[in-house]
Every structure is written in structure tokens, then in C-alpha cells.
């Protein structure tokens, strides 16, 4: 038995699997020694890492198209449009033919059903949105770049709006609430919020205004994206949802945070499934370092908890980044599959990252991993995954297969045409601006919900004393929840990341 076939024996699986490629040892590829990723283990999550230009995007494309073919829906970030080729069959050339021969792949062109989505209204895809209240104070703080104190203050602002029956649907709603609290009319309300300072509220307001100036106001609002629209199949193939950042490149943190919001929504809504033959949905977090950069300890803890628990709901998560060290150890330990493209070790920091990466792999007699990781060619990766029995597979230097869909962008106009013909276009294309906090505060109508029902005639004559009781008292909160169906269309009960749990 050769070293290649010995390694490949660890990747044998009885059930369906993603075909990654063939084992390479000492420069020789054995096309019959296949490296496979079992579908049944994909809810144990994974990592795709490597330096720029090493082939990460094509690896994502390779995995996504096979998931789609297996009937598994996929959600992917596509900031530059590089993955739009998934919607078109590829075309054979000399490089694809050579790669197919090396990896033992009976390559045939194939396209995937794709829907193009854009955060906000400035992109080529179907615009998708999230309501401010649903996004929650923790995730919004990440987008706004707030510190722990400011995040806590924003949470109190959300609580005050919830208690007063003021729906926060878009950025102007939140801006109007903060403006009210920092103005003359809201001084007493502000004092009642645990001694929140007007200076801190002002910092939040300025950050919010900057977000609006950079296009964030086109993302927050309604109609809000229903995560179930991402969990569909077309003629037995899983739908691939490609999300672009549109005109919000100045706020890349919004992109990764929005994906985290989607994951939190699914975590709250999906039932427990246990072990499945294949996942119900697979998420790809591209540029994962943006999610963790400058994140608070509490934020990281919530990510870790969500990633750990959502696998029981049949959802797999892949983090994609340049260095494994971009992902905190608590999250990294939850990732069962590792596809590591070439690393660069030009600086002392690079060398330290390389040493840490080597330690995350099982020991192997076939490779010197520190040398292998810096010697990988384009389209090659060091791989280890979980077998169907849950044990780590042997480390395999893998020559990856070529994707069967088009390895190129299809162009902006083509994306617009596909988006316009999507069944989601009529549902999400036009924004809705119903009565919410902005309109209520502008009309100076912001009494507790109980007073709205029992004594509307006294709405403009309410007494200001007792603000703390009004804001924090159970009667006001209960009254708001009773009237939520008509006033907001959802119950405000904040769960993971402080996101509002919705009754759909």
C-alpha cells in the first residue's frame, strides 16, 4: 500500500460526501486516492483558510456546487462577484482537463440554481433588509464600532423604545429616539435610563449618522428578510444564495455581522434535529476576521455558543479567512473540517501564525507540515476532516478538483437580470415605511402603550414623574407585548445577541 492510498483509507465513507480531490505525496498525485468530506459531518462546521491568490474562492465554489447538487441550500458572501459563475456551467480547457486527469475526476460542466441578494438597495441583487429592532443592540454595536460602555447604553435605548411601544424599524427611528433622549424633552427619560450620559448617547448618534451617510440606511428597514427564503431547493438542487455588499464597502463589518444575524435567526427558529444524513443549510462566513476583530468577550462567547449549538439544528458553518489565527480558539475548536491553502511566512508574525497552525493538525509521518504549508501550489491544500465515525482523518496534501461551474464572474447586468426574474424580487424589492418610532416621536405621541389603550385623551397630558417606573415597570412592558401584534407585528423578547425574536 502506497502512502497515498494509506492516507485515502482514512477518507473512505459509506454515505454521500463532497469530493475534494486526490492525495499528493512527494510531488506525486494518486488519482484513486480520494479525499472526501462526508455530508453527515458538515454540521460539525469547518475552516477554509489561505493567503490571497492560493485558491480559497475556487475551493468554496467546489464545495458549494456539490452541496447544491446534493440538495443542500448554501448561503455565501460574494463581495466582488467572483462566485457568480456558480450560476453558469463551466467550459473545459487544457488546465481543467489536466486537473481532472490528476484527480481522477470525470469532469462535466454543471450550473447551480442561484439567487443574487444585496445588502441594501444599491447592488445588482434583490435588496434584503433587517429591522433595527430585530438586529438588536449587540450586533448593531459591532457594526457601529461601539465600546462596551456604549454598547450597554445602546441596549438601554432599545429597552426604552421597546417599553414605550416605539418600533425601531430603520435608522431614522433609532436616530429619532436618541435625538429625543438627548434633547430637552427627553432629559427626564434619559435620567431614568440608569444614569446614561448624554455624551455617550451623542457618540452613538454620531456613529449612526456616519453609517447612514455610507449607505447603511438602505439596509435597515422593511420588508425584513425571512431566513426561510434561503432554505429552498429547485428541482432537487439546493439553492445557492449569493450575498453582495453593494455600495457599503466602507462598512465591511456590516456584512459579516448580518450573516451572524441570519445565523442567530435560524438558531432561534429551527427545531432540534440531531444527527442528519446531510445538513439542512450550510453557511460560509467569508472574511471571518471582520467578525472577530475588536469584538468584545461577550460577543465572542455568543458566537461560540451559537456555532456550538446550531449544529443540532442541521446547520453547518464554514469560516473563511487568510489565517486560522483570525478565528478565536474557542470557535476554532468547534470546526471539524480544515482546508488550509498556502500560508506566507515573510515576517515574524507570519512565522508565529504558521507555528500555531501546524499545532492544530494531527501528527503525520508523511509531511513536514511547516514546509508543506508554505510550499502548496495554487489549488492545493492541507486537509483534515471528521470521518463518519467522528474521528479526525489523516492529514492529506490534496490536489483539489476543478469546479464544474464557471470560474469567472458573469457580469453585473447578467446578475441584475437574474435578480429581477427571482420570485423574491416582488417580495423584497420595494421598501416599506410604516408608522414607527420616527413618526410617533415627530407627532409627539409616545406615551406608554397602556395609556394608548386606556386613556388616549390624556396622551398629551401625561405626568413626567415616575419615569423609572414607566420604563421598567412590568405593566408597561406587558401592555406593550399585548399590543405588539398591531403596533409592531412581533413580540419583543430578546434572545441570542439581543436580537428580537419574531413570531412569523
Q: What is the pLDDT of residues 437-446, one digit of tens each?
A: 999 988 864 4
- Counting residues of the chain whose pLDDT is more than 90, the rounded percentage is 59
- pLDDT of 247: 58
Mean pLDDT (whole number) for 305-331: 92
Q: Which of 116-120, 148-152, 290-294, 362-366 has the lowest mean pLDDT?
A: 290-294
Rg of the chain over Cα atoms, rounded to whole angstroms, equals 25
Mean pLDDT (whole number) for 82-108: 95
Q: What band does 501 get if pLDDT is binned at 50, 70 and 90?
A: low
Q: What band does 107 get if pLDDT is binned at 50, 70 and 90?
A: very high
pLDDT of residue 476 exceeding 70: no
- Counting residues of the chain whose pLDDT is more than 70, the rounded percentage is 87
What are the angstrom distances between the C-alpha of 372 and each of 137, 350, 384, 388?
44, 15, 14, 26
- pLDDT of 442: 87
Let me know: does 316 contact 283? Beta carbons within 8 Å. Answer: yes
pLDDT of residue 98 exceeding 90: yes
In this predicted model, which residue has the larger pLDDT, 235 or 450? Answer: 235
Do you find a cis peptide bond into 223, omega within 30 degrees of 0?
yes
> In 3-state terms, what secondary structure has residue 33?
strand
- pLDDT of 458: 40
pLDDT of residue 457 exceeding 70: no
- pLDDT of 257: 85
pLDDT of residue 455 exceeding 90: no
- pLDDT of 193: 78
The three-point CA angle 493-497-503 to 5° equals 35
CA distance linking residue 360 with residue 333, whole number of Å: 9
- pLDDT of 246: 58
Mean pLDDT (whole number) for 374-397: 95
Q: What band does 429 get if pLDDT is binned at 50, 70 and 90?
A: very high
- pLDDT of 490: 38
pTM: 0.86
- In this structure, is the dihedral angle defined by the CA atoms of residues 425, 430, 434 and 438, taken in order, positive or negative? positive
Let me know: does 337 contact 39? Beta carbons within 8 Å. Answer: no
- pLDDT of 128: 93
Q: Which of 114-118, 265-269, 321-325 has the highest mean pLDDT?
A: 114-118
pLDDT of residue 502 exceeding 60: no
Domains along the chain with CATH numbers: 7-39+52-129+235-252+283-410 (3.40.50.300), 132-220+431-498 (no CATH)
Among the listed residues 173, 175, 179, the one whose alpha carbon sits nearest the alpha carbon of residue 209: 175
> In 3-state terms, what secondary structure has residue 75?
strand
C-alpha cell, 105: 475526476
Mean pLDDT (whole number) for 380-396: 95
- pLDDT of 256: 80
- pLDDT of 248: 52
Mean pLDDT (whole number) for 98-104: 96
pLDDT of residue 421 exceeding 80: yes
What are the angstrom distances between the C-alpha of 330 and each of 167, 304, 334?
36, 6, 7
- pLDDT of 494: 64
Number of CB atoms found within 10 A of residue 348's CB: 8
Strands, sheet with 281-285, edge to edge from the N-terminal-most edge strand: 28-38, 17-25, 396-400, 380-384, 337-340, 46-49, 315-321, 281-285, 74-77, 240-244, 114-119, 126-128
- pLDDT of 493: 57
pLDDT of residue 450 exceeding 60: no
Let me know: does 25 contact 395? Beta carbons within 8 Å. Answer: no
- pLDDT of 447: 52
- pLDDT of 10: 94
CA distance linking residue 143 with residue 127, whole number of Å: 19
Helix, strand, coil share of the chain (percent; to 5): 45, 15, 40
- pLDDT of 299: 83
Interhelix angle for 252-269 vs 132-144, to 10°? 140
Mean pLDDT (whole number) for 48-66: 94
pLDDT of residue 405 exceeding 80: yes
pLDDT (tens digit, 9 = 90+) per residue, 223-277? 999 999 999 999 999 999 999 875 555 567 788 888 889 988 988 889 998 889 9
**Average pLDDT score over the chain:** 85
- Residue 49 gets which letter from DSSP? E
Q: What band does 462 get if pLDDT is binned at 50, 70 and 90?
A: very low
C-alpha cell, 2: 502506497
Amino acid at each position: 500500500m502506497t502512502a497515498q492510498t494509506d492516507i485515502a483509507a482514512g477518507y473512505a465513507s459509506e454515505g454521500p460526501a463532497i469530493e475534494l480531490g486526490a492525495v499528493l505525496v512527494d510531488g506525486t498525485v494518486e488519482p484513486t486516492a480520494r479525499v472526501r468530506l462526508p455530508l453527515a459531518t458538515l454540521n460539525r462546521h469547518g475552516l477554509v483558510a489561505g493567503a490571497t491568490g492560493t485558491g480559497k474562492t475556487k475551493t468554496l465554489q467546489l464545495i458549494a456546487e456539490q452541496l447544491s447538487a446534493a440538495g443542500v441550500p448554501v448561503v455565501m458572501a460574494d463581495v466582488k462577484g467572483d462566485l457568480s459563475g456558480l450560476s453558469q456551467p463551466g467550459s473545459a480547457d487544457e488546465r481543467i482537463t489536466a486537473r481532472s486527469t490528476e484527480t481522477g475526476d470525470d469532469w462535466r460542466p454543471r450550473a447551480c440554481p442561484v439567487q443574487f441578494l444585496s445588502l441594501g438597495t444599491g447592488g445588482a441583487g434583490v435588496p434584503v433588509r433587517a429591522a433595527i429592532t430585530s438586529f438588536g443592540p449587540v450586533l448593531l454595536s459591532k457594526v457601529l464600532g461601539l465600546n462596551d460602555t456604549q454598547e450597554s447604553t445602546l441596549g438601554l435605548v432599545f429597552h426604552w423604545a421597546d417599553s414605550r411601544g416605539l418600533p425601531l424599524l430603520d435608522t431614522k427611528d433609532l436616530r429619532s429616539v436618541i435625538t429625543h433622549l438627548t434633547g430637552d424633552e427627553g432629559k427626564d427619560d434619559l435620567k431614568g435610563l440608569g444614569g446614561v450620559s448624554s455624551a455617550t448617547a451623542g457618540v452613538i448618534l454620531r456613529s449612526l449618522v456616519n453609517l447612514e451617510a455610507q449607505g447603511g440606511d438602505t439596509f435597515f428597514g422593511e420588508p425584513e428578510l425571512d431566513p426561510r427564503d434561503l432554505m429552498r431547493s429547485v428541482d432537487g438542487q439546493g439553492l445557492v444564495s449569493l450575498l453582495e455588499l453593494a455600495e457599503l464597502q466602507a462598512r465591511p463589518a456590516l456584512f459579516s455581522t448580518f450573516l451572524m444575524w441570519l445565523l442567530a435567526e435560524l438558531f432561534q427558529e429551527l427545531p432540534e434535529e440531531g444527527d442528519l444524513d446531510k445538513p439542512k443549510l450550510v453557511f460560509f462566513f467569508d472574511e471571518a476576521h471582520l467578525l472577530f476583530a475588536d469584538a468584545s468577550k461577550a460577543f465572542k462567547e455568543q458566537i461560540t455558543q451559537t456555532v456550538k449549538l446550531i449544529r443540532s439544528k442541521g446547520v453547518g458553518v464554514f469560516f473563511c479567512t487568510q489565517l486560522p489565527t483570525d478565528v478565536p480558539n474557542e470557535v476554532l475548536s468547534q470546526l471539524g473540517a480544515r482546508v488550509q491553502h498556502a500560508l506566507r511566512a515573510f515576517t515574524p508574525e507570519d512565522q508565529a501564525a504558521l507555528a500555531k497552525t501546524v499545532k492544530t493538525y494531527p501528527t503525520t509521518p508523511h509531511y513536514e507540515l511547516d514546509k508543506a504549508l508554505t510550499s502548496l501550489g495554487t489549488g492545493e491544500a492541507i486537509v483534515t476532516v471528521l470521518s463518519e465515525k467522528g474521528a479526525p482523518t489523516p492529514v492529506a496534501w490534496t490536489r483539489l478538483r476543478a469546479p464544474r461551474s464557471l470560474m469567472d464572474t458573469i457580469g453585473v447586468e447578467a446578475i441584475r437580470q437574474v435578480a429581477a426574474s427571482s420570485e423574491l424580487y416582488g417580495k423584497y424589492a420595494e421598501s416599506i415605511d410604516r408608522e414607527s418610532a420616527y413618526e410617533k416621536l415627530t407627532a409627539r405621541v409616545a406615551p406608554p402603550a397602556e395609556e394608548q389603550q386606556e386613556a388616549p385623551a390624556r396622551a398629551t397630558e401625561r405626568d413626567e414623574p415616575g419615569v423609572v417606573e414607566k420604563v421598567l415597570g412590568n405593566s408597561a412592558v406587558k401592555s406593550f407585548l399585548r399590543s405588539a401584534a398591531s403596533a409592531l407585528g412581533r413580540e419583543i423578547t430578546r434572545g441570542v445577541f439581543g436580537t428580537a425574536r419574531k413570531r412569523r
